[in-house]
Amino acid sequence: MLVLFIYVSESGHNQNYSTIPTQLTNSEYINVTNHEQKFIHFPANNSNSSAGLSNKNYKSILIWNTPKLIETAIFGFGHEPFVRHGCEISDCVIFNQSSSSSGTSTSALKEFDAIIMHMSTIWSSDLPEHERPKYQRFIFFAQESPSSMVQSLPDIISMRNYFNWTMTYRTNSDIPFLYGRIEPETTAPKTREETLRLMQNFNRHHIQNYAANKTKLAAWMVGHCDTPGLRELYVRQLAKWIPIDVYGRCGNLSCSRNNKHAYSDPECYRMLESKYKFYLSFENSICDEYVTEKFFEIMTRDIVPIVYGGADYKRIAPRHSFIDAMQFTPEALAQYLRILDANDGLYNEFFWWKRHYKVEAGLHQMARHGFCELCKKLHQDQSASKYYPDLAAEWHPHKKCWKY
């Protein structure tokens, strides 16, 4: 009997403010918005000092609000992380307000080369409103989709000509902060014909049977039962045609979780790829370019992702390496999965690309690429500061997202 397994995990202002926002203590885990935030513990002594701020050979970066958000906190604070992560240019130092021994007075704020603001929680913070020096960049940071940042939308609408750079999951960002990346190796095909030839050779030579010992059909890890993208409705329809086991908050089965943050444990992924043929990489929002670890982490595994999201997956992943649920009705998708489940040859064709592409996924690579690029850009970009006249159009859910 075919079983579809589901586990559920997720992941302007013109006023003159004088109050510096209160920072979180190092022991707190909190939820501050209407969607699940991911936080991380970091030690009280996080190697911050004012050395980088006084040393003008270094570029100083201030995390303005919510410094415990895992997407940025996992990189680390101080200067050492830039060295440890092997940044091409490492002469930078990261501070958060509570740890900057220089304080956060107006005069101190002017000393920073960049101030990063987490937009998903900006509604709970005051804003820096000092007269900034020409070299200082205010950075719009966002890793959540527009649908998940509606609480911050009024602030974003009012922030005209406020931000200089963007640092987000979108590829057109000034500093791309991507959940993952898939890069071709030298042997990667350049044409459709070459791709087909590699697929045929892969099956002909029986390089590896990825279907071996897999007794179940598909898996899904999910933490939100009701989402802006209405993925749960698609799955509900799919369940009429294929038996579904739900894991996590929305079901009665469980999978191991990381004890430091909200992302799933590697052991869980190892279990999935050993038992299941497919994984439902369903995003909680269907928004332009919004594709998260739900996709990239699975691409590092021996399991085929079924995607549901607003990204152009054909641009970021090899041909015939995933199945797009948006191209099927739930009934048609169920029928297609049954066909692949019954034919190891057809199933194995989805793995032809594994030897010809390199996949990077996970929090560490995301932070490493992002902050290394930021440090490099701060040192090399000497052009006059630009200002975004209006970011609301780019981050309004009615313009950048849609429902199934």
Is the pLDDT at 5 greater than 70? The verdict is no
Residues 159 and 226 in one domain: no
% helix, strand, coil for the chain, step of 5: 35, 20, 50
Mean pLDDT of all residues belonging to the chain = 82
Residues 100 and 152 in one domain: yes
Is the pLDDT at 13 greater than 80? The verdict is no
- 4 falls in which pLDDT band (50, 70, 90)? very low
Q: Beta partners for 278?
A: 218, 304
The torsion defined by the Cα of 12, 16, 18 and 24, in degrees rounded to 10, comes to -20
Is the pLDDT at 364 greater than 90? The verdict is yes
The two counts, helices (H) then strands (E), for the chain are: 14, 15
Residues 209 and 354 in one domain: yes
Give CA–CA dist 246/127, Å, rounded: 42
Percent of the chain with pLDDT over 70: 81
φ and ψ at residue 193, rounded to 5 degrees: -65, -40
Q: Beta partners for 78?
A: 94
Give CA–CA dist 99/96, Å, rounded: 6
Residues 370 and 296 in one domain: no
Residues 156 and 196 in one domain: no
Residues 104 and 233 in one domain: no
The CATH number of the domain where 219 resides is what?
3.40.50.11660
Is the pLDDT at 290 greater than 70? The verdict is yes
Is the pLDDT at 16 greater than 50? The verdict is no
Is the pLDDT at 347 greater than 80? The verdict is yes
Q: Specify the pLDDT at position 113.
A: 94
Supply the range of the domain harboring residue 194.
Answer: 179-361
Least confident among 160-169, 247-256, 290-299? 247-256
Is the pLDDT at 18 greater than 80? The verdict is no
Output the pTM of the full model: 0.82
Q: Specify the pLDDT at position 258.
A: 60
- Domain membership of residue 21 (yes or no) is no
Angle at CA of residue 379, ends 361 and 293, nearest 5°: 10
- Domain membership of residue 12 (yes or no) is no
Residues 285 and 138 in one domain: no
Percent of the chain with pLDDT over 90: 52
Mean pLDDT of 204-217: 87
Is the pLDDT at 167 greater than 60? The verdict is yes
Q: Which of these, 382, 357, 360, lies nearest to 370 by C-alpha position?
A: 360
Domain count, the chain: 2
Residues 237 and 112 in one domain: no
- CA distances to 39, 68, 123, 149, 158 from 152, rounded to whole Å, are 19, 18, 5, 5, 10
| 263-285 tens-digit pLDDT | 667 888 899 999 999 999 999 99
Residues 315 and 220 in one domain: yes
Contact 253, 246 (CB under 8 A): yes
Contact 112, 61 (CB under 8 A): yes
Residues 379 and 357 in one domain: no
